[in-house]
Amino acid sequence: MACLRMVAQDFAEKELDGIEISPEVMDILEDIAMQMLSSETQLLHSKIAELQDENVNLRSNQLKQCLICQDNIAEYMWSSCCNNQTVRVGHLTACKSCADTIANGPVHFRCCPLCRASDSGFWLRVDARE
């Protein structure tokens, strides 16, 4: 709050013809500024929490959507997805129709639509509603 005191003194010198602001008035100004900052901080924290919740909801809805047709719920994941070539991960990416299309299509298209892992993988059905 030292900055507030400097701004107030500067304002008084320039705009109020050099009138000096008493320490009591400065204390009141500091209290008002602190209350305003506290109120604004609480509002910002509340808004951040709302946006984080909205982000989680959007991500969870987006993850359940088929990445190929974007119309149906994704219920299938490719079996051979790997993260850094060591840890197996499953990308829930396709609905039944799109998984069937990929599985029965050309060999070079038989892969995870997200990471392109193909290594003799196959589609696994997962309950996406959990």
Cα separation, 122 vs 7, in Å, equals: 68
Total number of domains in the chain = 2
pLDDT tier at 41, thresholds 50, 70, 90: very high
Does an H or E element contain 116, and which? Answer: none
- 96 has a pLDDT exceeding 70: yes
pLDDT tier at 63, thresholds 50, 70, 90: low
- 106 in the same domain as 83: yes
- 58 in the same domain as 7: yes
> How much is the pLDDT for 119?
66
pLDDT, average across residues 72-93: 75
Domain C-terminal end among 42, 63, 84: 63
Position 81 in a domain = yes
Most confident segment among 7-11, 16-20, 104-108: 104-108
Do the beta carbons of residue 29 and residue 22 sit within 8 Å?
Answer: no
